[in-house]
Amino acid sequence: MKPALFLALALLSPGPASQAAERPNILFIAIDDQNDWIGHLGGHPMAKTPHLDRLAARGTSFLNAHCNSPLCNSSRASLMFGLRPTTTGIYGLSPAPRQLPALKDRVALPQHFANHGYRTAATGKIYHAGTTAGGGKAGALPPEFQVTAPYGGVGTRPPRKLIGPTPMGNNPLMDWGVWPLDNDDTGKGDYQVASWTVEQIKSAPKDRPFFIAAGFFLPHVPCYATQKWFDLYPDDDSILPEILANDRDDTPRFSWYLHWELPEPRLAWLKEKNQWRNLVRSYLACTSFVDSQIGRLLDALEEAGVADNTIVVLWGDHGWHLGEKGITGKNTLWDRGTKVPLIFAGPGVKAGQRCSQPAELLDLYPTLVELAGVAKRDDLEGLSLAPQLKDAATRRERPAITSHNQGNHGIRSERWRYITYADGSEELYDLQADPREWTNLAGKAEHAAVIAEHRKWLPEPDRPPAPGSASRILTYDKESDEAVWEGKPVKRGDAIPQ
């Protein structure tokens, strides 16, 4: 080809910059400790979330989506780096992903989009320790996001805990109730997260697409909300979740080891201190408050004229118990501990769909890569959900898999939940007949084939905790039949902490 003709064709051909400009924007919304108490998900019949419900109506909502680890740091590390916790060994609140040699130079989700022409920005809780966790130190690594803001978290706090001392350490985060008292939400960290994100949407450059992440803290404890959000819910026992009094009688003792001694109070304490209703109402109030902030983001997309060219993905990092199975908090392998909201809307997503196929947070990385049309990666352990986003009835080739420390795994298919613990004990639930997981079927011979089918999906590798692991770490030695919870041995005869 003659040089002049080659130059002319090159000038007429779209280059990387113009290709990036044609790609869709991405609004990436995370909610901390948010279970399925969302209006359209039906996890709680009174939950009021009109903005999440309108987002779901615009796109596809996954009714059977699950975290890959029921804890903040490990769940978010898995999602952002595209690897299972059993691959990285990240199960606890430490280490941060970049502290591990194997992840030091790995391209995280937002970095992959930055490498393909996106302007990346974030505020609030995206990684466990914040939006910039582990990246950009002394210029040695690219930042996790190009632009960040130090907003988020609890916001204003009362001078002392509203509910008084709590068992197992009186952790300052274990608190809930009406705060602040003046009905002013502007001092709350999540309000500031929404405000900054709105400005980023409205001021985003027009010559390239954006990847903007907003991480909301609530309904994580302390569950503080102003009175107007409490007023959405009755102050009576009608808001309490339905529970079974002896629900733990047919679960293995090892199930307690996953949450052996935690700051989150047990149901028995909540009842004794008359705090169960207060906690449930606080959680619902905080959920509705965060919903209102998400509504501000959706309105900003419309006002900026970019709603039609923006992929919105909304996810929660894990579930949360509010009395079910006798506990509060996370760190379980039941649906209440693993099930999360997951919604996609925008280009490439069919509107008004409700998908019952199992999905994992691990799937977000490959899904967004495919929807945006950026270069695919062959080192991601999730599956793209693009087929389900086009047709919700499309079958997925594997169940959702959740792991909490080595040897403890939950396998969730469309109908069944199978759980196996490090000591070999098991649980099996038929979610069609028993949606609350009240009846463990694992000991019944007629279900042996179901268990065998689900066991095929146990993750490999299944690594021990990574170096530097701390907080909520459980190990088990089969030869001695000894478990160690956060460095302390647990014997079979030890009383379960209450």
Tokens representing 475?
């190990």
Spatial neighbors of 139 by CB under 8 A, at least 6 apart, are none
Structure tokens at 192: 């500031």
Q: Is 314 helix (H, G, I), strand (E, B) or coil?
A: strand
Q: Counting beta carbons within 10 angstroms of the beta carbon of residue 77, is it exposed (0 to 12), middle (13 to 18) or buried (19 or more)?
A: buried
Report the alpha-carbon distance of residue 206 to residue 484 in Å, rounded: 54
Task: Round to whole Å and give the CA distance between 174 and 178.
Answer: 14
Helix-helix angle 276-303:189-202, to 10 degrees: 10
Q: Reduced to 3 states, what is the DSSP secondary structure of residue 279?
A: helix
C-alpha closest to that of 21 among 309, 345, 248: 309
Rounded-to-integer distance, Cα 291 and Cα 285, Å: 10
- Catalytic residue list: 72, 128
Task: Give the number of other Cβ atoms within 10 Å of residue 139's Cβ.
Answer: 7
C-beta neighbour count of 231 within 10 angstroms: 12
Q: Residue 349 is encoded by which pair of tokens? A: 């997503």
Query: Which sign, positive or negative, has the C-alpha torsion 28, 31, 33, 36?
Result: negative
CA angle 319, 130, 377 (to 5 degrees): 80
